[in-house]
């Protein structure tokens, strides 16, 4: 029987532990894995829940009901994605989530096979995922609930939505055995968070989050692949871009965490107390976002009311223990990370923003920086090794409307500084050689865009900007090992690059930019002429913006419960 109810989680005692085979099917996950129900309106849970051997069961509903189990409420269908479970049961309003999203950690999603309004909304999204091979239909499964059969469509998750492959560990080996292996093998790693109860997990149904050096990645993953089971283990490396196409932490920070690790419970290695706080704050703000349940001062954003862990409470306790005076809000944590050099640069935040609403809203939705065509090209060492540096510079200087303001060949210490502080510390090509580290920084001004920037929103209609030039340069000069040309995309991002690349020349460069813009400012008649000439593009621009807004409103409408 299910027992040990703690809060709103149904916790299953860890008895009769059995090793879960690699590639286990639905039955094994139902028996040993983590289960989540969304939109389940029954008063009694399916019979298999009471026979579970291990794993966690969480039930989410729109509102509290009279039933024989504990429930959590949820206010947005987007919360479904952030629930870390192996199997999801979706019914009633929750079915609609398949229109635009798919549970990120799901091995299987079961949808009640019965006529519902949510099905009509979900079908287009489900069909699209079937076509691209993200999921497969595995048939209909009968589930007994209160003595009666319910029919559920079984959808298997085939392709993960991230480059990261989640690993696992058997109960036979256990967390203690795993940690002993890491110690004996002298693996450079840390258990990132929630390590206080090791070798027991912090909570039933939880997992281990491991950060490991690049050199020891093969060792740790090889061990886990030989000992798979129900215990989830996330393994993140220093410089592999396996988290939404970026590294889990910027490599300089990741190295710092591992190098300054201390001994923890059960022969583990854990971050020192200050790094543990910073790493968890980073995880909350930039990885979890609003789903961490930490409050925000930004209006119009829905904070998850039922996070898997009490992140705010844990951070508060850690801060008190370290005598850190800080407001435990998204903004307070972000500012603290910024002051201590742990906030990612804008180029990294731009990659985080599409899947983190708080990051998007805080950093990109209302930027005060006016777009005026400033750009920074970072040419990598390969341009020098291949003897094409002069050719690249010639193409830039002759590109329509572009002026080169500054060129700087980086010294050894400057290469290290730029490498560590931009692009999240990731510069290597596919061969990961020194040839892909930054070598030459070129500051440019798109004078056409700078000229147009004086006239309303016309800059947004400009087609031959720095992105087009970057694409052309890569087509002309890139080699099979990786791209040898990097560039900023916006003026906002470029100004941050200037801070990093030209700390001693910043005043001079800013004066030169200001002088350029003053000379390029159009007269009243010219401004009027530009408005008339570019009005067709403005119409197209506003039409595209209107379509985007309609799409967003449609999605918001669908995702409302």
Does residue 254 fall inside a structural domain? yes
Residue at 1 is within a domain: no
Query: Nearest-5° angle of CA 255, CA 355, CA 250?
Result: 10
Q: Which long-range contacts (CB under 8 A, 24 or more apart) does 467-476 make?
A: 469/395, 469/396, 469/399, 469/402, 470/377, 472/395, 472/399, 473/377, 473/392, 473/395, 473/396, 476/395
Domain boundary among 308, 338, 366: 366
Has residue 357 been placed in a domain?
Answer: yes
Q: How far apart are the first and last CA of the chain?
A: 32
Residues 463 and 539 in one domain: no
The C-alpha atoms of residue 437 and residue 277 are separated, in whole angstroms, by 31
Identify whether residues 513 and 537 lie together within a single domain: no
Q: Choose among 66, 47, 49: nearest CA to 146.
A: 47
Is 177 part of any domain? yes
* Confidence (pLDDT) at 210: 96
Same domain, 312 and 330: yes
**What's the pLDDT at 427?**
83
Q: Residue 74 region, left (φ>0) first, then alpha (ψ -120 to 50), else beta?
A: beta
Give residue-wise pLDDT tens across range 378-394: 999 999 999 999 999 99
Which of 348, 366, 384 is the C-terminal boundary of a domain?
366
Domain encompassing residue 554: 523-561
**Residue 435, domain CATH:** 3.30.70
The answer to the question of residue 220 being in a domain is yes
Other CB atoms within a 10 A radius of the CB of residue 368 amount to 5
Question: Are residue 14 and residue 147 in the same domain, yes or no?
Answer: yes
**Between 405 and 308, whose confidence is greater?**
405
213 pLDDT tier (thresholds 50, 70, 90):
very high
Residues 25 and 153 in one domain: yes
> Is the predicted pLDDT of residue 459 greater than 60, yes or no?
no
Distance of CA 217 to the CA centre of its chain: 21
Do residue 132 and residue 192 come from a single domain?
no
Within this chain, do residues 86 and 53 fall inside the same structural domain, yes or no?
yes
Q: At 327, is the pLDDT very low, low, confident or very high (cuts 50, 70, 90)?
A: very high
pLDDT of residue 541: 58
Please check the confidence at residue 125 and state whether its pLDDT lies above 60.
yes
**DSSP string of 479-496, one letter each residue:** BTTB-SEEE-SSHHHHHH
For residue 7, the tally of other CB atoms under 10 A from its CB is 11
Query: Do 103 and 190 share a domain, yes or no?
Result: no
Backbone angles phi, psi at 85, to 5 degrees: -135, 160
Answer with the one of 366, 393, 423 that is the final residue of a domain. 366
pLDDT for res 277: 98
pLDDT-based confidence at residue 194 (cuts at 50, 70, 90): very high
> What is the Cα–Cα distance from 33 to 296, expressed in whole angstroms?
33
Cα–Cα distances (Å) from 203 to 16, 34, 208, 431, 453, in that order, read: 19, 12, 11, 40, 54
CA atoms within 13 A on the CB side of 140: 7
- State mean pLDDT over 307-312: 90
Pair 379, 424 in one domain? yes
13 CB contacts (<8 Å, ≥6 apart)? 3, 4, 54
**333 vs 343: CA distance, rounded Å:** 10
Q: CA geometry: angle at 160 spanning 249 and 73, to 5°?
A: 85
Concatenate the DSSP letters of all residues of 57-103 into one string.
EEEEESS--S-SS--EE-SBTTHHHH---SEEEE-GGGGGGGGT---
Q: What values do phi and psi take at 368, rounded to 5? A: -85, -10
Q: Which residue would you say has higher pLDDT here, 186 or 561?
A: 186
Residue 49 pLDDT more than 60? Answer: yes
Give residue-wise pLDDT tens across range 396-434: 999 988 999 999 999 999 998 999 888 888 887 555 578
Neighbours of 168 (CB within 10 A): 20
Pick from 248, 326, 341, 328: which is nearest to 287 by CA?
Answer: 248
pLDDT score recorded for residue 323: 96
How many independent structural domains does the chain possess?
5
Residue 24 sits in a domain of what CATH number?
Answer: 3.40.50
Q: In 3D, which of 250, 236, 185 has the Cα closest to residue 208? A: 236
Q: Is 215 a domain residue?
A: yes
- The closest of 14, 46, 47 to 32, measured between CA atoms, is 14
Nearest-10 Cα torsion for 496, 501, 506, 512: -90
Instruction: Based on the fold, state whether residues 436 and 487 are members of the same structural domain.
Output: yes
Return the pLDDT at 56: 83
- Dump pLDDT digits (tens) for 53-94: 777 888 988 877 677 677 787 877 877 877 778 899 999 989
Asked whether residue 93 falls in the same domain as residue 148, the answer is: yes
pLDDT at 534: 62
For residues 508 and 382, membership in a common domain is answered with yes
- The partner residues of 479 in beta bridges, in order of sequence, read 482
How many Cα neighbours within 13 Å face the side chain of 268?
A: 26
Is 99 within a domain? yes
Distance from C-alpha of 221 to C-alpha of 227, rounded to nearest angstrom? 10
Does 47 fall in a domain?
yes
- 8 A C-beta contact, residue 270 and residue 264: yes
């Amino acid at each position: 029987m299910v027992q040990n109810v703690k809060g709103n989680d149904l916790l299953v005692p860890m008895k009769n532990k059995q090793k879960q085979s690699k590639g286990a099917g639905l039955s094994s996950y139902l028996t040993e894995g983590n289960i989540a129900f969304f939109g389940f309106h029954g008063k009694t849970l399916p019979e298999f829940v009471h026979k579970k051997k291990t794993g966690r069961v969480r039930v989410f509903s729109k509102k509290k009901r009279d039933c024989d189990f504990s429930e959590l409420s949820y206010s947005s269908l987007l919360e479904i994605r952030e629930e870390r479970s192996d199997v999801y049961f979706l019914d009633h309003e929750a079915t609609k989530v398949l229109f635009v999203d798919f549970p990120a950690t799901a091995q299987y999603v079961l949808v009640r096979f019965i006529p519902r309004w949510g099905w009509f909304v979900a079908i287009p999204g489900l069909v699209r995922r079937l076509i691209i091979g993200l999921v497969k239909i595995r048939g209909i499964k009968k589930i007994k609930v209160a003595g009666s059969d319910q029919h559920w469509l079984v959808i298997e998750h085939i392709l993960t939505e991230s480059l990261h492959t989640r690993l696992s560990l058997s109960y036979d080996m256990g967390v203690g055995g795993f940690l002993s292996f890491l110690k004996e093998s002298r693996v450079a790693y840390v258990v990132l968070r929630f390590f206080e109860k090791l070798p027991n997990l912090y909570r039933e149904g939880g997992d281990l989050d491991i950060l490991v050096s690049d050199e020891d990645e093969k060792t740790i993953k090889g061990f886990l692949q030989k000992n798979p089971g129900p215990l989830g283990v996330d393994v993140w490396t220093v410089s592999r871009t396996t988290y939404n196409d970026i590294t889990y932490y910027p490599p300089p920070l990741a190295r710092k965490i591992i190098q300054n690790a201390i001994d923890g419970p059960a022969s583990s290695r854990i971050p020192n107390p200050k790094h543990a706080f910073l790493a968890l704050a980073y995880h909350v703000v930039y990885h979890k976002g609003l789903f961490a349940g930490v409050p925000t001062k930004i209006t119009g954003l829905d904070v998850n009311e039922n996070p898997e862990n009490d992140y705010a409470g844990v951070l508060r306790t850690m801060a008190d223990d370290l005598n850190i005076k800080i407001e435990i809000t998204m903004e307070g944590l972000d500012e603290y990370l910024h002051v201590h050099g742990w906030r990612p640069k804008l180029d990294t935040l731009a990659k985080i923003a599409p899947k983190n609403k708080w990051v998007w809203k805080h950093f990109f939705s209302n930027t005060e920086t006016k777009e005026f065509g400033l750009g920074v090209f970072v040419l990598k060492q390969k341009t020098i090794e291949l003897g094409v540096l002069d050719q690249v510079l010639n193409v830039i200087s002759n590109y329509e409307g572009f002026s080169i303001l500054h060129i700087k060949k980086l010294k050894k210490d400057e290469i290290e500084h730029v490498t560590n502080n931009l692009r999240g510390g990731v510069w290597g090509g596919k061969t990961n050689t020194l040839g892909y580290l930054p070598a030459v920084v070129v500051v440019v001004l798109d004078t056409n865009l700078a000229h147009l920037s004086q006239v309303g929103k016309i800059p947004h209609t400009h087609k031959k900007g720095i992105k087009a030039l970057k694409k052309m340069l890569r087509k002309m000069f890139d080699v099979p090992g990786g791209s040898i040309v990097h560039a900023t995309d916006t003026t906002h991002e470029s100004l941050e690059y200037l801070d990093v690349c030209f700390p001693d020349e910043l005043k001079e460069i800013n004066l030169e930019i200001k002088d350029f813009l003053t000379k390029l400012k159009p007269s009243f008649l010219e401004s009027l002429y530009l408005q008339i000439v570019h009005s067709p593009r403005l119409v197209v621009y506003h039409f595209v913006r209107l379509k985007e807004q309609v799409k967003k409103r449609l999605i918001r409408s669908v995702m409302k419960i």
